[in-house]
């Protein structure tokens, strides 16, 4: 077992709250693996190039909707996805929600919950959906659920049922346009993973501090 402590400083008051907990040896190993895999994912070429992707939508009265997606070199995205799989597949031991829940369980504190809350929001797509929600046939396209179906239909697997379902949602806007939203969701998920990895590195004594914007009471 390993005793760990996390100091959380309130940016406005400067007050530091210290939360301690105990990790089992296999949990320390898991957290260390999470950090190593996060570094591997963040060193992907697509990430180093700034995760480029852009969507242009033009509409004028009396004319058809014009949608143009500017996608990056897809082999670079696929290389990133292979490195990012351990964080977004539920069966993986480093699946982000599992690791976040482990830390919340071992360091039971409202302060820790506030640190983890924005990371969970990023991972669950709430950051993007607070800015825009795109629907087709009552299905939210820029959602983690649709993203996961797309990954299983086109990238991780070749699920023909999910592929056919996705195609029914893209009669007006092409699938390429939704892929831009999927890439934004993936960058938000990467942000969550890297922030959590920063907290873990503090817990394991690899770094002294990490700066993360925390959800305040009532926010």
pLDDT digits (tens, 9 = 90+) for 125-137: 988 888 878 888 8
Residues 6 or more apart whose Cβ sits within 8 Å of residue 139: 146, 169
Local confidence band at 117 (pLDDT 50, 70, 90 cut-offs)? very high
Q: Chain-wide mean pLDDT for the chain?
A: 85
Q: What is the pTM of this model?
A: 0.86
Please, are residues 41 and 58 in contact by the beta-carbon 8 Å criterion? no
Local confidence band at 219 (pLDDT 50, 70, 90 cut-offs)? very low
DSSP state of 130: T
Note the pLDDT of residue 55. 59
Give the span between the Cα atoms of 177 and 180, in whole angstroms. Answer: 5
Please, are residues 45 and 88 in contact by the beta-carbon 8 Å criterion? no
């Amino acid at each position: 077992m390993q005793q760990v402590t996390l100091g959380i400083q309130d940016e406005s008051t400067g007050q530091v709250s210290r939360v301690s907990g105990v990790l089992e040896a296999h949990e320390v190993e898991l957290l260390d693996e999470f950090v190593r895999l996060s570094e591997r994912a963040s060193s992907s070429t697509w990430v180093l190039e700034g995760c480029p992707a852009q969507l242009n939508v033009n509409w004028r009265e009396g004319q058809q909707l014009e949608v143009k997606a500017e996608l990056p070199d897809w082999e670079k995205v696929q290389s990133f996805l292979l490195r990012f799989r351990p964080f977004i597949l539920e069966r993986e031991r480093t699946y982000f929600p599992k690791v976040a829940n482990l830390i919340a369980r071992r360091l039971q504190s409202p302060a820790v919950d506030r640190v983890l809350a924005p990371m969970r929001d990023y991972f669950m797509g709430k950051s993007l959906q607070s800015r825009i929600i795109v629907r087709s046939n009552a299905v939210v396209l820029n959602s983690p659920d649709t993203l996961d179906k797309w990954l299983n239909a086109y990238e991780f697997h070749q699920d023909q049922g999910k592929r056919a379902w996705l195609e029914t949602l893209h009669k007006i806007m092409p699938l390429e346009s939704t892929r831009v939203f999927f890439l934004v969701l993936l960058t938000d998920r990467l942000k969550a993973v890297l922030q959590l990895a920063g907290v873990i590195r503090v817990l394991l004594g690899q770094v002294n501090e990490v700066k993360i914007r925390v959800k305040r009471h009532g926010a």
